[in-house]
Amino acid sequence: MTEIIHHIGVQPKSKRIESIQHLAETYGRTATTAGLYVSIYAWFGGMKFTAYEAQGLVDLVSNNPLVSWMYSILSVRGFSSFLGILEISIGALIAARLVNPVYSLVGGVLSSGLFVTTISFMITTPGVVVPELGFPAISVAPGQFLLKDVGLLALSLWIAMDSLIAIRFTRT
C-alpha cells in the first residue's frame, strides 16, 4: 500500500515538461535579461523620437561638456533621435545574446558608457543637488530622474561581465 501511495505522489514527467524545463535552463536567464533590456531601451529609445523628450534633454545635455558640443552638429530633435537610434541598437545587441554572447558584451559595454555619461549629468546640471538639505539630498527632477541610471549602470556592467563569462565558458 505504501508503494502505491508513493508511486501516485511521484508522477513521471512528460516529454513536453522536460522540453520546457530544458529551454528554461538553457535560455531562460538570457531571454529574461534580453527582454528586460529590450523593453527598457525600446521605451527609452522610442521616447527620444518625440519633441517632448527632446526638449526634456536640453538642460541636461547643454550643461554637460561631454555631450553639449553635439548641439553644434545636430539640432535638439536630431540629437535626441540619434540617442534613440543608439538606445534601440544597444537593446538589440543585448537581445542578440540569444545568437552570440559577444553581441551582448558589446551592448553591455556601450550601455555602461551611456549610463556613465548620463550619471555625469548629476554633476553638471544645475538643480540636481539640494544644498540646504545636505548630502545625499537631490531634487526630484532632475536629480531622482537621473538616479535610476546608477542602477541601470550596475545592470549594464552585470550584462557585460555575464556575457564575458559566457564567452569564456563556450570557448573552454
Domain ranges for the chain, please list them: 26-170
CA-to-CA dists, residue 136 to 129, 130, 132, 139, 149, angstroms = 8, 9, 11, 10, 16
> What is the rounded average pLDDT of the residues 21-44?
81
> What is the rounded average pLDDT of the residues 98-113?
95
Question: Cα–Cα distance between 162 and 146 in angstroms, integer?
Answer: 25
pLDDT computed for residue 56 by the predictor: 95
Question: Cα–Cα distance between 138 and 32 in angstroms, integer?
Answer: 32
Write out the three cell numbers for 117.
555619461
pLDDT computed for residue 4 by the predictor: 53
DSSP helix/strand/coil, 48: coil
pTM: 0.80
